[in-house]
Structure 1
């Protein structure tokens, strides 16, 4: 599930450095001030004093960041490295303060023009999304999520049209506090497939991925809660990129994901996943992007996990999320742009393992964003944004409303 906290992080954190091909080093520094009316995504039915010890729901947040970037080509090889420190300060709920350390590194390797690929490494640290934690014992705690990913992929061009692809991937996800919904885990995957590239620049790719996952720090299964030690994933997908015209392009993916657990088949899930994204430029100053996506993800619950009697209990093993979005951008002048985005998200919780008298939980989220960007100088970027979220649920206590406004300034060198 994506809500305002993630969207605001994407839209209002200091703007990333503008990578200039001939510029080896870059430095970016920025700050963002945000007012958030409902930090913990609490339902109107909930008295915040009972959960946070304070009568207020709102907070003012100052995010300051500094990024160093390196981008260099050596013969056929290209290297990219960025490192970022992000300092997050909360005025009221200061126990949420943290310093995030993030980096991205990539080696775009070439053996020959027909055999090439990437070797990447990523590390990120951020607060867990409170919208995903609402109703649970950890719903108002400082819970940092750390993600590490190591990825290798390669392409062998048999000829101009047909390419063989393959890759290895290793991901590690950890939380600073226990989460019931998505436990600490690591997944190692191998993938392969074939790609067809047309003369017009379009492509069609078939890929198969096999992954082995392990729940970290759980040496034995917990049968009383049906919590397992490991799982296997198999995913098939077909991807398409189609430049319809000079002004319109379509990207899409349809796949089937099957996840099986080692000891408790009650936690297994499978189903169709995919996405479709359309980009259209009706004029040189207007771009409209629209999309749909469907994903299946782990979301395991247990009877002891709920925080307060106001929250109606439910049981689930996974969540199916469907998202519909539209995002027009108007380049008013060379230096000024207006962005608007609307998302509708439908989240259904499946795989109940505890019999309850209530039906399965289902949430609906409406999210809207309006942002004005201004770049008066090549080195200076300013932005102001307003964001509104409304979530309703068929289960008591999980709906909420939140409003946020932010201003940010970024310097790029």
Structure 2
């Protein structure tokens, strides 16, 4: 349900503070993501959903220092399945610091909340995932184009429902990096990262492990290929080891690459390929190997009208993790998503939008497949 929230409003470069209010009305013909013909609790599969959101942003430059802060709140209400109603709160504090022009870095703390997909949770209530992160990083620019740096992150992910709490997760992630950033604005970094992850609510046993160690070696960056195309993301190798269940160990390629192409001032195309373990935007921090490909074209009909489409193919290999799938040793899911949206900005602070989407999942678990159609009308106002 996290995808239901409105995107944050953009803030003008000379604005210090902004406030964005949003309202979404949505119709979903398969709220619980159940198989065809199944009637959840003896009722229709469909429901109408209301999402009210508010976001505040602060952004200011003080000489070489930049401070940013944000806070967002949302209330999600269901007309028929009102036991699914929930609220979310999130925010970030961020300091982009500098000591002269050679030593730069970032200190940030943030929280985000989102509901897990009901196709993965089941039951009569939502499971709200809360992610918290504390990060510190620094880079020493020993040459105008080159730097060496280090960072550390303390990350945690918790869930509100009892059934999902075995997937609660904590991690400590130190990293080292070497960065090349020429005056063109392009950037390439060689990154080495180590993750010490634990599941505090799990007991190690025959079918469950209580932690892992992971090493990532990545080449990441952003590069302007031509005047109309850009490539950004990362590619590397990941090695994950478990202290008890070594047959779940993983070594293989991981990465996320996005190619952006703007052939004209009105037409833009974005394509993404990714292979990741427990990608955060999948709301899983456990051993789930996700492979996905997406294609997102957009057409600015005019300065105030924008048409966007999106197609995604995503495969998740759960690798037999009982912390995610009770009573199952393995499962593969393939989800196909199609969406089309039209947005209109009648005046600069106001954005109106309408969208339709279709979601279809197939699985080697016969009870896990579903088809859902979603229609949305939204409004967003930037004060």
Q: Residue 372 in 1 paired to residue 342 in 2?
A: yes
- Give 2:30's aligned residue: 38
Q: Residue 48 in 1 paired to residue 39 in 2?
A: yes
Shift of 1:209: 0.6
Shift of 1:289: 0.5
Q: Residue 223 in 1 paired to residue 211 in 2?
A: no
Q: Residue 339 in 1 paired to residue 308 in 2?
A: yes
Other structure's SS at 2:278 match: strand
Counterpart among 288, 292, 313 of residue 323 in structure 1: 292
Distance of 1:318 and 1:212 partners within structure 2: 14
Distance of 2:128 and 2:50 partners within structure 1: 17
Aligned pairs for 1:158-177 (under 5 A) are 158-177=142-161
- Give 1:65's aligned residue: 53
Shift of 1:178: 3.2
- Give 1:126's aligned residue: 114
Per the normalisation by structure 2, the TM-score is 0.91
Other structure's SS at 1:223 match: coil
- Structure 2 unaligned regions, length at least 5: 280-285, 323-327
State the Cα RMSD in Å. 2.2
Distance of 1:181 and 1:234 partners within structure 2: 25
Residue deviations 1:267-317 (CA, integer Å, cap 9, x gap): 43332110221111111110111110011239xxxxxxxxxxxxxxxxxx8
- Give 1:93's aligned residue: 81
Q: Is the Cα contact below 8 Å between 1:273 and 1:294 reproduced in 2?
A: yes
- Give 2:214's aligned residue: 233
- Give 1:396's aligned residue: 366
Q: Residue 245 in 1 paired to residue 221 in 2?
A: no
Q: Is the Cα contact below 8 Å between 2:321 and 2:329 reproduced in 1?
A: no
Shift of 1:108: 0.9
Distance of 1:116 and 1:184 partners within structure 2: 33
Residue deviations 1:199-235 (CA, integer Å, cap 9, x gap): 43322211011111221244xx3425x3233321111
Distance of 1:108 and 1:338 partners within structure 2: 35
Shift of 1:70: 1.3
Shift of 1:179: 4.2
Shift of 1:397: 1.3
Aligned pairs for 1:77-226 (under 5 A) are 77-133=65-121, 138-179=122-163, 183-218=167-202, 221-224=203-206, 226=207
Other structure's SS at 2:225 match: coil
- Give 1:381's aligned residue: 351
- Structure 1 unaligned regions, length at least 5: 299-316
In structure 2, the CA distance between the partners of 1:121 and 1:411, relative to structure 1 (3 Å rule), is same
Number of residue pairs the alignment of both structures matches = 372
Distance of 2:177 and 2:108 partners within structure 1: 20
Other structure's SS at 1:95 match: helix
Shift of 1:113: 1.6
Residue deviations 1:375-394 (CA, integer Å, cap 9, x gap): 11111111111110111123
Other structure's SS at 2:226 match: coil
Other structure's SS at 1:350 match: coil
Distance of 2:115 and 2:320 partners within structure 1: 27
Residue deviations 1:146-170 (CA, integer Å, cap 9, x gap): 1111111222111122111211101
Q: Is the Cα contact below 8 Å between 2:118 and 2:126 reproduced in 1?
A: no
Other structure's SS at 1:243 match: strand
Distance of 2:104 and 2:47 partners within structure 1: 48
Residue deviations 1:103-128 (CA, integer Å, cap 9, x gap): 12211111112211111111122211
Per the normalisation by structure 1, the TM-score is 0.85
Distance of 2:145 and 2:114 partners within structure 1: 41
Shift of 1:259: 1.8
Counterpart among 12, 16, 19 of residue 24 in structure 1: 16
Higher relative contact order (CA 8 A, sep 6+): 1
Other structure's SS at 2:120 match: helix
